[in-house]
A and B are shown apart, each in its own frame.
Chain A
Amino acid sequence: MSERTRFGRFGGQYVPETLMAALDELQTAWLQLRADNGFLSELRARQATFVGRPTPLYHAERLTEHFGGATIHFKREDLCHTGAHKLNNALGQAVLARRMGKRRIIAETGAGQHGVATATVCARFGLPCTVYMGAEDMRRQEVNVRRMRMLGAEVRPVTSGTATLKDATSEAIRDWVTNVRDTHYIIGSVVGPAPYPEMVRELQRVIGDEAREQYLAAENTLPDTVVACVGGGSNSIGMFAGFVDDPSVDLVGVEAGGLGVETGQHAAATVGGQAGVLHGSFSYILQDRQGQVLPTHSIAAGLDYPGVGPEHAMLAELGRASYVAVNDDEAVAAFKLCTRLEGIMPALETSHAIHHVGELAREMGPGARILLCFSGRGDKDMHTIESVSPTDMPVIGGPL
Chain B
Amino acid sequence: MTLLLNQGELALIPYLMAGHPDMATTREIGRKLVNSGIAALELGIPYSDPLADGPVIQRAGQRALAAGATTEACLEAAADIAGEQAAPVLLMTYVNPVLAYGPERFARDAAQAGVTGVIIPDVPVEESAEIAKTMTGAGLETVFLVAPTSPDDRIAAACDASTGFVYCVTVTGITGSRSVLPTDVNALLAKVRTHTDLPVAAGFGISSAEQVSLLRGHADAAIVGSAIVNELDAGRDPGPLVRELLSACK
Contact = CB atoms under 8 A, between A and B. Distances in A.
Interface of A: 1-2, 5, 12-22, 160-161, 166-167, 170, 173-174, 177-181, 275-280, 285, 287, 289-293
B85 interface: no
A279 B122 CA distance: 10
A277 B151 CA distance: 26
B234 interface: no
Nearest to B94: A277
Nearest to B204: A18
Chief secondary structure at chain A's binding surface:
mixed
Given A170-B49, A177-B51, A16 B62 contact: no
A276 B99 contact: yes
Contacts of A289: 100
Contacts of B55: 160
Given A17-B150, A279-B51, 19 more contacts: A13-B124, A14-B123, A15-B51, A16-B122, A16-B124, A16-B145, A16-B169, A17-B149, A18-B169, A20-B126, A21-B151, A161-B48, A174-B51, A180-B149, A277-B95, A287-B96, A290-B70, A290-B100, A291-B97
A81 B51 CA distance: 33
A292 B173 contact: no
* 6 A-B pairs with least C-beta separation: A291-B100, A178-B173, A18-B147, A291-B97, A16-B52, A291-B96
Contact of B126 (A1, A279, A291, A293): A1
A290 B95 contact: no
Nearest to B155: A17
B147 A277 contact: no
Contacts of B173: 18, 177-178
Contacts of B37: none
Contacts of B136: none
A255 B100 CA distance: 24
A18 B97 contact: no
Contacts of B154: 17, 20-21
Nearest to B98: A291
B113 interface: no
A13 B48 contact: no
A135 to B, nearest CB: 15
A161 B122 contact: no
B180 interface: no
Contact of B149 (A21, A173, A275, A277): A21
A18 B171 CA distance: 9
B127 A1 contact: yes
B146 A277 contact: no
Contacts of B59: 160
A14 B174 contact: no
A330 to B, nearest CB: 29
Contacts of B52: 16, 18, 177
B147 A12 contact: no
Contacts of B101: 290-291
A17 B171 CA distance: 12
A17 B169 contact: yes
Contact of B49 (A5, A17, A166, A275): A166
A17 B71 contact: no
Interface in B95-112: 95-101
Contact of A5 (B71, B97, B126, B151): B126
Contacts of A179: 172
A216 B50 CA distance: 47
Contacts of A278: 49, 96
Given A180-B172, A276-B96, A16 B127 contact: no
Interface in B155-201: 158, 169, 172-174
28 contacts: A1-B130, A2-B126, A5-B126, A14-B95, A14-B122, A16-B52, A17-B121, A17-B124, A17-B144, A17-B147, A17-B150, A17-B158, A18-B149, A19-B149, A20-B149, A21-B151, A161-B62, A167-B49, A177-B51, A177-B173, A177-B174, A277-B94, A277-B99, A277-B122, A278-B96, A291-B47, A291-B101, A292-B97
B172 A181 contact: yes
B174 A178 contact: yes
Contacts of A290: 70-71, 97, 100-101
Interface in B23-57: 47-49, 51-52, 54-55
A16 B100 contact: no
Contacts of B62: 160-161
A173 B50 CA distance: 10
Contacts of B122: 14-16, 277, 280
Interface string B81-102: 0000000000000111111110
Contact of B65 (A16, A174, A292): A292
Nearest to B52: A16
Contacts of B54: 174
B97 A17 contact: no
Contacts of A18: 52, 147-150, 169, 172-173
Contacts of A287: 96, 100
Contacts of B207: none
A16 B158 contact: no
B176 to A, nearest CB: 10
A16 B59 CA distance: 19
A19 B154 CA distance: 12
B142 interface: no
A15 B169 CA distance: 14
